[in-house]
């Protein structure tokens, strides 16, 4: 029997213990995060690692103190959050978008870890009709009840694709005909000089680190939002809204 704790607000689930987590994996559950105690040994721990590898799931090795903070119960060295959001295959979403006769507009979030920023971005993206949000499997914001509440439920209505390697995903999208547009302070090109009517994936980075260099190298276009005041930058959720609505404005003019 699964040992789960339910969040009554958004029906997100926590599961802990070796057997319960293995049962959840075999049942096809989507995991947001999986934590495993550093140096955990034993036959069941080895079996769990093999099962996670078989299902292409990643876990984070953490000290036992973190697990003890997550629960006071017998966690057996493993604790996981089962996502309340279903994840989509990027290739399937892309094919479906083309089959509908649409010009794909995807949003990739690189190193954005703040849950509330992520939720606010998802809300704007869904309102703009973005076809999918692409996240990294590791190093992204947690899809928990706070994210869903901040998104005003939008996370339940927009495809979310979690990718093992954003660099590889961008290469795939480029080969499929999408233009990669990176929003970065490294650019001198004004946002309003960029055409957004072609199939595109817009890449936003964190406020602290921006878009990673390896992704910027893949960008077909680099652009920045013009700033006229003394403040150096916008909150990333606001910046995302600015660039997405410019894309939608152009696409509506063309249609």
| pLDDT per position as a tens digit, 194-245 | 999 999 999 999 988 899 999 999 999 999 999 999 988 899 999 999 999 9
**Could you tell me the residue range of the domain that residue 245 belongs to?**
90-254
Q: Are 198 and 174 in contact (CB under 8 A)?
A: no
Query: Is 119 found in the same domain as 233?
Result: yes
Query: Is 100 found in the same domain as 78?
Result: no
Measured distance CA(50)–CA(56) in Å, rounded: 10
Query: Is 137 found in the same domain as 73?
Result: no
Q: Which of 82, 112, 128 is the last residue of a domain?
A: 82
Query: Is 53 found in the same domain as 97?
Result: no
pLDDT at 69 over 70: yes
pLDDT at 109 over 90: yes
Query: Is 68 found in the same domain as 98?
Result: no
User: How confident is the prediction for the chain on average, in pLDDT?
Assistant: 91
Helix (H) or strand (E) holding 132: strand 132-136
Query: Is 52 found in the same domain as 103?
Result: no
Query: Is 146 found in the same domain as 25?
Result: no
CATH assignment of the domain containing 193: 3.40.1280.10
Q: Which of 28, 51, 82 is the last residue of a domain?
A: 82
pLDDT at 143 over 90: no
Residue 62 token pair: 């953490």
Query: Is 98 found in the same domain as 78?
Result: no
Query: Is 95 found in the same domain as 55?
Result: no
Q: Which of 49, 82, 115 is the last residue of a domain?
A: 82
CATH assignment of the domain containing 58: 3.30.1330.30
pLDDT at 73 over 50: yes
Q: How many domains does the chain have?
A: 2
Question: What residues contact residue 166 under an 8 Å CB cut-off, 6+ apart?
Answer: 108, 110, 134, 136, 212, 215
Query: Is 154 found in the same domain as 237?
Result: yes
Query: Is 239 found in the same domain as 180?
Result: yes
Query: Is 245 found in the same domain as 176?
Result: yes
């Amino acid at each position: 029997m699964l040992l789960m704790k339910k969040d009554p607000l958004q029906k997100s689930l926590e599961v802990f213990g070796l057997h319960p987590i293995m049962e959840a994996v075999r049942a096809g559950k989507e995991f947001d995060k999986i934590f495993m105690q550093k140096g955990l040994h034993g036959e069941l721990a080895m079996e769990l690692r093999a099962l996670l590898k078989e299902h292409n799931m990643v876990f984070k090795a953490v000290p036992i103190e973190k697990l003890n903070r997550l629960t006071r119960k017998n966690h057996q060295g493993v604790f996981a959050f089962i996502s309340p959001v279903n994840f989509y295959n990027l290739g399937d979403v892309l094919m479906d978008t083309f089959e509908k006769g649409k010009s794909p507009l995807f949003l990739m979030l690189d190193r954005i870890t703040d849950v509330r920023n992520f939720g606010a971005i998802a809300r704007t993206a869904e309102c703009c009709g973005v076809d999918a949000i692409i996240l990294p499997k590791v190093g992204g914001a947690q899809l928990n009840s706070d994210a869903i509440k901040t998104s005003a439920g939008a996370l339940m209505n927009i495809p979310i694709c979690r990718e093992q390697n954003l660099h590889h995903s961008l290469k795939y999208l480029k080969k499929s005909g999408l233009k990669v547009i990176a929003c970065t302070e490294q650019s001198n090109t004004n946002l309003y000089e960029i055409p957004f009517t072609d199939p595109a994936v817009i890449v936003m980075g964190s406020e602290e680190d921006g878009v990673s260099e390896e992704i910027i190298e893949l960008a077909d276009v680099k652009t920045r939002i013009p700033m006229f005041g003394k403040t150096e930058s916008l909150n990333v959720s606001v910046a995302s809204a600015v660039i997405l609505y410019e894309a939608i404005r152009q696409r509506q003019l063309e249609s």
